Amino acid sequence: SRSSTDSTTETTAQTKTPILINIYDLLPPSRLSTLLWHLGSSLHHSAVVLPIRSTSTSEPISREYAYGGHPHPHLTGVYHTAPLTPPPHSTHRATILFGHTTLSPSEIEVVVKDVSSEFLGVEYNLLTRNCNHFTAALLERLSGRKAPGWLNRAAGIGVRVPCLLPGEWVIPPEAGETAEGHLLEEEDDE
């Protein structure tokens, strides 16, 4: 019968979880920032948005995972916020559906924690180990696909031509200067 075929298809099909990237422009709104955005060379902050399940309700909720610097040794710089929580002085530019993963919610959590352990706050560097590097690593682990090349283009230019950036931009921010969020190691099994 038709109903038995439909239920078999539903139970054998793998659930696909969407992977979203939120992109924030770190430059103040201006003609220059708009031009750089359209050229794919803007200064971006990126974060990965993944659905999770709350223990208090069966309704899915999402978290936005990002990476920032701080001076605390042995502590990840990966934190989560509510989606579309911009870092200070930034503007949300785009939300991109990167793709899907067939990993279960518990497998996604393991991947996030595994990648987070590789991104300590004291290792943050605007040019060589920034939020976009974290986003790229997490996207690849979740989907097996590389992040868009334009995502971290400005850092690549800065590495090749360091005189373009003021030195203080490369120093990791002090604690509290990044988006308000929760470091993964501060979580209480929410």
Catalytic positions: 45, 131
Tokens 């990002």 identify what position?
66
Cross-strand bridge partners of residue 17: 101
> Are the C-beta atoms of 77 and 119 separated by less than 8 Å?
yes
How many C-beta atoms surround the C-beta of residue 8 within 10 A?
10
What's the Cα-to-Cα distance from 9 to each of 1, 12, 13, 23, 86, rounded to whole Å? 13, 5, 6, 36, 40
> How does DSSP assign 123-143, residue by residue?
G-BTTTB-HHHHHHHHHHHHH
Query: Which residues of 73-132 form beta strands (DSSP E)?
Result: 78-81, 91-101
Q: How far apart are CA 118 and CA 68, in angstroms?
A: 13
Tokens 């139970």, residue located: 11
Please return the burial class of 5, using the count of CB atoms within 10 Å of its CB with bins 0-12, 13-18 and 19+: exposed
